[in-house]
Structure 1
Amino acid sequence: MTVRIGVAGVCTIAELRARGMSAGAQRHAVATGRLVRLRRGVYCDGAVWRASARRPADRHVVEACAAWLALGRRGWATGYSAAVIAGLPVPHGEPRQLRFSLPRRPHGRRAYPGMRLRTAGVDEADVLLINGVPVTAPARTALDVAREHGFAAGLVLADAALRAGIATAEELRRVAERQSGWPSGSRAVLVATHADGARESPAESVSYAGFVTAGLPLPACNAWIVGHGAGGVRADFLWRRHRLVGEVDGRVKYADPLRPDHENVLVDEKTRQLRIEEAGYVVVRWTAAEAMARPEVVRARVVRQSRVAARMYGVPPVG
């Protein structure tokens, strides 16, 4: 028989029975791979489960839907679970486990393997239904991540949410105001203050967080230096007063030297830097790995190149 499966290909055994599937048919479907048991009393369409293996985000959505059903359709996904379900960038290896919150823990403290449960309160406006799973809204998710994992981690999510149009600056301010008195609430306020959809990658967001933390003058992000639009040149970071341009490398375009256009990409990048220098700026570069793991190295390099610009153009250095 054909079995119609619920949201994300996941449903409960009770729903299967209500649709006419007998216990014997259910066991046969599991044995033949048409159904996959995810949690006690919760099953997934076999084809959906196998297809979800292609992308960790898809697999996490399926597992989150199963977890929500196992919790009796209570609670909501939080933290990096909510981020990946909403399509926001997360670090490699995250989320390590499902993250859910409940308004109150169930009696008996039943164990839910692979799931971290917390008890929390939340405003109705801060919970959305995405892919059939209740999750904290992107603004709340970004600030929750900031409080738990740090300013830079939260800024990555907040910038991406603003850029995608799934959060607003006002939402960030509203949530940050409410969280300001919570543990590590100052991180949430910092993210809401500095979030900007102009930044186009996690590496840019992490770099900017490093500038804020180091107390450096803050640059304009993705600002035009030469012209506008096609044929123009933008910089990741521009300290116009200091005649300094910052560029964070590490994008996919540099990753594979065997790509047919690899040499052209490098030539184009060198030409681009030459145009920036001809416009009267000193360029400082760093990698995404340096921004994330060695921000002090990035700061020192920015300050050093700024002093070069100061000597060349008679402008004040950044620090």
Structure 2
Amino acid sequence: MTPTDLSSLLSRPFTLAVAARHGVGRSVVRRLVRDGDVRRVIHGVYVGAHVVDALEVRARAAVMVLPRGAVVCGRTAARLHGVRVPADPRERARRTAPIEVAVPVGAALPRRHGCRARVLALRAEEVVRLGGVPVTSPVRTAADLARTADRDTGVVVLDGFLRAGLIPADALAGMVGRYAGHPGRRRLAEVVRLADGRSADEDETRLRLAVLGAGLAAVEVGWEVRSAFGRTLHRFALAWPGVRVGVDLTPHQQWIRARARSLAGQGWVVLECPAIQVRDNPAATIARIASELRLRDRRRGDDERAA
């Protein structure tokens, strides 16, 4: 086998059977692994050491050694679709999260290191191919995670699919009925009700859920303040236009800071809220926002009575 042919083999995941068809025997593969030119992706699948250890590579490797009809699903599928997913609590102690896969009904459930398998009955339209890898469709992936994960994770995932335009509005509306016969349908219905693709990222979603859970006044998501000519002057993660209070999530500060700002000729109170505080101390974050809303509401009442 020429160096060019060997390079072609090593550029993507391969099994020992594939290597043999290229004229590379088991002993040669072992030597390449020993010399550091090849690494094992998962049990039974190898790739050239120069290939980046990416999720796509591990997913492709997994389906090569799983039963016919195996499909990547769950968190792995969401990430392959480009949607960020909070880590599974079971993965926190792992350096690399396992590849989540589904096998057809009737197939033996595989037990292979680096994979987490389940049995799923999938319709043809619930499977798509991404870079040649069979993956559950956006709707099926989002529905599965919404049914099986905690509520907030489900909303984060569904917000991500909506924001990316991967799930159209009509599919979202019919999702609950479509999976009414599946376990977790009540959780799915709650997640669909709370989903809002206007949230820009996970932190905005979690802040919105905390605000809703605290029963604060109706809030606008991704509120844009525009000029008289329609140009966007500022975007708030959350806003209460009636009292002109808006929340910006910031990456650096360690406390919430309120500052006055004129936008489109109107006086706003901008609450600069550290994203880390939303994650670590949501109760304190909500208390600070609620305090500012009460203060602005009282001031508005005083102004109206004075007028």
Higher helix share: 1
Structure 1 residue 238 displacement after superposition: 1.7
Gaps of 5+ in 2: 303-307
Structure 1 residue 285 displacement after superposition: 4.2
Match of residue 195 from structure 2: 195
Q: 1:173 to 1:127 in 2, by over 3 A?
A: farther
Q: 1:310 to 1:277 in 2, by over 3 A?
A: farther
Q: Distance in 2 between matches of 1:225 and 1:125?
A: 41
2:82 is paired with a residue whose SS is coil
Structure 1 residue 190 displacement after superposition: 2.8
Q: 1:279 to 1:5 in 2, by over 3 A?
A: farther
Match of residue 241 from structure 1: 242
Structure 1 residue 231 displacement after superposition: 6.9
1:299 is paired with a residue whose SS is helix
Please show how residues 1-319 of structure 1 align to structure 2 within 5 Å: 1=2, 2-3=5-6, 4-5=8-9, 9-48=12-51, 51-52=52-53, 58=54, 60-91=55-86, 96-104=97-105, 106-107=107-108, 110-227=110-227, 232-250=233-251, 254=252, 274-276=261-263, 279-314=266-301
Q: Distance in 1 between matches of 2:42 and 2:99?
A: 13
What is the letter of the counterpart of residue 105 of structure 2? R
Does the 8 Å contact 2:74/2:145 carry over to 1? yes
Does the 8 Å contact 2:146/2:158 carry over to 1? no
What do residues 64-106 of structure 1 show as CA deviations (whole Å, max 9, x unaligned)? 2211111134322222111222221123667732221222364
What is the letter of the counterpart of residue 243 of structure 1? R
What is the letter of the counterpart of residue 99 of structure 1? E
Does the 8 Å contact 1:243/1:313 carry over to 2? no
Structure 1 residue 204 displacement after superposition: 0.8
Does the 8 Å contact 1:39/1:70 carry over to 2? no
Q: Distance in 2 between matches of 1:120 and 1:188?
A: 17
Aligned length, in residue pairs: 288
Q: 1:20 to 1:289 in 2, by over 3 A?
A: same
Match of residue 305 from structure 2: none
Does the 8 Å contact 2:258/2:271 carry over to 1? no
Structure 1 residue 110 displacement after superposition: 5.0
Structure 1 residue 307 displacement after superposition: 0.6
Match of residue 259 from structure 1: none
Does the 8 Å contact 1:247/1:284 carry over to 2? yes
Structure 1 residue 308 displacement after superposition: 0.6
Q: 1:110 to 1:180 in 2, by over 3 A?
A: closer
Q: Distance in 2 between matches of 1:244 and 1:180?
A: 40
Q: Which has the higher mean CA deviation after the structures are superposed, 282-291 or 118-127?
A: 282-291
Q: 1:192 to 1:110 in 2, by over 3 A?
A: closer
Does the 8 Å contact 1:284/1:301 carry over to 2? no
What is the letter of the counterpart of residue 241 of structure 1? G
Structure 1 residue 169 displacement after superposition: 2.3
State the identity %. Answer: 26
Does the 8 Å contact 1:139/1:168 carry over to 2? no
Does the 8 Å contact 1:80/1:145 carry over to 2? yes
Q: 1:210 to 1:84 in 2, by over 3 A?
A: same
Structure 1 residue 240 displacement after superposition: 1.9
Gaps of 5+ in 1: 53-57, 256-268
What do residues 10-66 of structure 1 show as CA deviations (whole Å, max 9, x unaligned)? 122222222332344333333333332333432212211xx22xxxxx2x2222221
2:171 is paired with a residue whose SS is helix
Q: 1:172 to 1:11 in 2, by over 3 A?
A: farther
Q: Distance in 1 between matches of 2:63 and 2:50?
A: 20
What is the letter of the counterpart of residue 292 of structure 2? Q
Q: Distance in 1 between matches of 2:232 and 2:170?
A: 35
What do residues 222-269 of structure 1 show as CA deviations (whole Å, max 9, x unaligned)? 22225277671222212223433222333xxx38xxxxxxxxxxxxx9
